[in-house]
Chain A
Amino acid sequence: MMEWESVIGLEIHAQLATKSKIFSGAATAYGAAPNTQACAIDLGLPGVLPVLNTDAVRMAAMFGLAVEATVAERSVFARKNYFYPDLPKGYQISQYELPVVHQGHLIIDLDDGTTKTIGITRAHLEEDAGKSLHEDFSGMTGIDLNRAGTPLLEIVSEPDLRSAKEAVAYMKKIHTLVRYLGICDGNMQEGSFRCDANVSVRPKGQERFGTRAEIKNLNSFRFVERAIEYEIERQIHLLEDGGTVVQETRLYDPDQGETRSMRSKEEANDYRYFPDPDLLPLSIDTAFIEAARQALPELPDAKRERFMGEYQLSAYDAALLTVSRDLADYFEATVAALGGEAKLCANWVMGDLSGFLNKESKDIGDSPVDPSQLAGLLRRIQDQTISGKIAKEVFEAMWQGAGDADAVIDQRGLRQITDSSAIEQIIDTVIETNPNQLAQYRSGKDKLFGFFVGQVMKASKGKANPQQVNELLLKKLAG
């Protein structure tokens, strides 16, 4: 049985978060009525000309710096010529021979705890196409050109990825990075972040690449993983059955869980690239690069390192908390408000808070409990006003808008009982009402200790300080 190795490279399209289009002054806001954000330039009217958006260039430069790539002093826009109804000019303005960013890299974490460096061949600026709507319009297709001319950064990896899981890890890392940089909203449902995967297989040990298939337009991490896994299997089966892989474009069908050949797009692909004569060479000087560098936020890897050092968090916790800039900021604001106790803050942010956010599919920015309110709750755990268990109840009330932690604790009488005589009284009652268990315990059945703790906690409605309960019970049960 031959052992196979898969070789994967990703082309990620990240829609840049500019207010206007890459070559026109039309707005880029999502969801507008069809063709209301398609100006003369986006429609490709006769006689119109493109002028480049400075922020698209700035964002590309920021990305280049973030992946330690070269930001080209000189890059060139080219025309990619093909006919398609969502492509108004009959060509897409893109970059071909001289992209704005080249030769960068990114380190991804693998499941076995090791890391791997993935090369980034290039990242280039280009314009997006419009959308074809295949609902029936008198048996025809409708074309909405609002998206035409939206700036894209196409990020092309080296064929360094060896499994679907690695591909997803890489894509997630790029996703985190572009959101950190504030250059892309990362919204995959709206198509702001999507990818094409080039997949091939070869016998393990063979140096030459196998023939690749390109799977187009994958717009979720799950689809990327499934499509690549399916495609690897398909190619291996094909080769083992004595067939050959055809170089082609394929489409992933999430309903069937398979990739299908897109022959319609394949025929006679001859894009006739040449430098766009309406645009001049893009020159980026050191001042521009320095300004982009100044605009860089702390990047995910650096933040994770810092969290591990500054807050003594595990690598796992630090990674989870730095998955987005907003989450990391929330965590840090909570620690600052509480004045320490980073581990406690981390547990709450990753635990209850994230749980509620997920359940209601909310972003951290929409959390009804802000960092100072969460810190207010944690302070009450810290000073033993409430137990961790009661805190969960208080948090839920806060989430539902019942007010600050102190207000909830007071209103609902949730303050912890730390008065030992009060706890002793409860213990006495519990012992009295459970004579059988007491006898068994005293005759050596130690396991029943837990039963008594539970009964006491229950009788105190969970408010008795658990540590005191333990100590006093031990003494009392001993007789």
Chain B
Amino acid sequence: MNRLLAAGLTVSALLVPLTARAQSTSALLDQGVRAYSVREYDGGAWLLRRALAVEGSLGLGPTDAARALIYLTAIEVARNQRDSALAAARRLVVLDPRYRPDERTFPPQVIAVYQEARRSAPAVSIRANGDTAIRPGAEAFVVRLGASTTPEVTASVNGTDGRIVRMLYTGTIRDTIEVRWNGLDASGNAPPDGRYAILVTPTARERRNSGGGDSWTLRLPLEVARPAVDTTPLPAAPPDSLFRPERGDTRGAMHALVPGVAAGLAIVVLPNLVASGERASSARLIVGGTVAIAGVAAFLSHHPGQRLPENTQYNRNLRENWRRNVAEISRRNADRLRQGKMIIRPGAPALVTETP
């Protein structure tokens, strides 16, 4: 019967790569636990590692992650893989320092490995309150660092490339401290969506004081996402057709000259047509001459190469209005983005130790 069940689990384990994406991590966990119970250790280890590898919102919660790690520890003990068992147990200690394996469920060897992990693991822990939505700059994502000793550590938010996005804390952990991240990078801007991690490491002085022993890094993976915020598209720059020539040209000059001269001539000549035989007064010469002179003056003010201050001012106003609009809309968009929520999803913490 056991062999039949084991065969089924093996087949399902082989099929897992095809269906893993569609399968929930809790289902993988259950299958891993069942594999342990029927002593199908290889398939069980694979299933549990698979479940633990998923991060973000699809990953295991803290309780399930602890369950997966203790069963993985037990499987590795059963497979005589002591180092792997110890590594899984250390991850469990980091995840939940207060975790205690059930002595009725697990054999004494598993309990012993876990106790050894507790003794050898750095006495620091990191906890987050699950998925959190904050307004960058106004609210904070809080993690709690705990330690049974008083290590001096640094905590920072880092990108996947290791670059420090924001330094969060440098100092001693006495019992527990809260570390807050307001969602902004060192320059005060919200970083782009993606994967980040809070890294807690001992300071150089702490490493020296501890006799140059194991160096360790406590890592809390974070997935940062921001729901799309409606923003107003920026207005396009005014097209060239809207700008006026800033220097006179022949065409503009003629447009100014022709109406003036034509109207002036008409005023002088028309009285002869309207009231032929009448001796018109010199008033027509005064007005007609004035209009013609105004036309010539307008021509000179538009002549090729002549600066046209009113057009320059008009163009300047056009550009400034556009720049003002762009600045105003950019400011509003920035306000909307700032007021938009940032969702931070913490994953399972992990401890990496390095032996010098």
A and B together in one complex: no
Which of B's residues lie within 8 Å of A, judged by CB? Answer: none
